[in-house]
Chains A and B, each alone.
Chain A
């Protein structure tokens, strides 16, 4: 079964810190990798698609990179409004698997 392994599962960082979340796929695939932000009680929102393209309206402190099986979401300067759970997802063809999520909190 195809799997997306996300790490860490949670992190606590200070405002202004650089935060990195990784996602590893069990098999390589195209660049159809997205990152979503989900705030408590809300539906997820796409931050990044095609591995590194910022969705319109998303702050430039968010960035994505990677290829093959290893992908990364970086927040260059963590802000209080970034408290959320972040998910990666492969979306090119079935199965459209999500990672297990990373909960980001402010220290």
Chain B
């Protein structure tokens, strides 16, 4: 069974750095041509794609947040980590991770985590 689970702080202060972890199971981050993205959703608002890491370790970032984001993976731990610097109250959102099979056999983001709510407040 393929699962993804997000973890991280519930509350961060403005200007702090947020670190979120996506723990995956049921597939490999380096052998199965699988990539993982982070997506967020502020309360009552639309989905916003943030960052993606490919099986090759290539990374791609949302243009507007590029300078604040870093995505990485630890294949031995089956984890994908997102860091976001200089947090602001507008970054309050539910943060999801989701996986995608790369290439012609892709079914888009076919498995998602349940999401983790992060509030930015002093």
Interface segment, B9-17, B19-27, B109-117? Answer: B109-117
A34 to chain B: which residues have CB within 8 Å?
108-109
Determine the interface band of chain B, counting residues with CB < 8 A from chain A.
20 to 34
Determine the interface band of chain A, counting residues with CB < 8 A from chain B.
20 to 34
B46-87 interface (Cβ within 8 A of A): 46-49, 52, 60-64
Number of A-B residue pairs, CB cutoff 8 Å, is 68
In the bound assembly, the distance between CA atoms of A87 and B98 in angstroms comes to 15
A1 within 8 A of B: yes
Docked-complex contact A87 and B46, CB < 8 angstroms:
yes
Please encode chain A, from 42 to 58, with 1 for each CB lying within 8 Å of some chain B CB and 0 for all others: 01111001100101000
Q: Given A87-B46, A101-B47, does the pair A46, B63 have CB atoms closer than 8 Å?
A: no
A32 within 8 A of B: yes
Choose one: A46, A50, A87, A93; the contact of B47 (CB below 8 Å).
A87
A62 within 8 A of B: no
Choose one: A1, A43, A49, A94; the contact of B96 (CB below 8 Å).
A43
Q: Given A93-B60, A95-B60, A96-B52, does the pair A55, B47 have CB atoms closer than 8 Å?
A: no
A93 to chain B: which residues have CB within 8 Å?
60
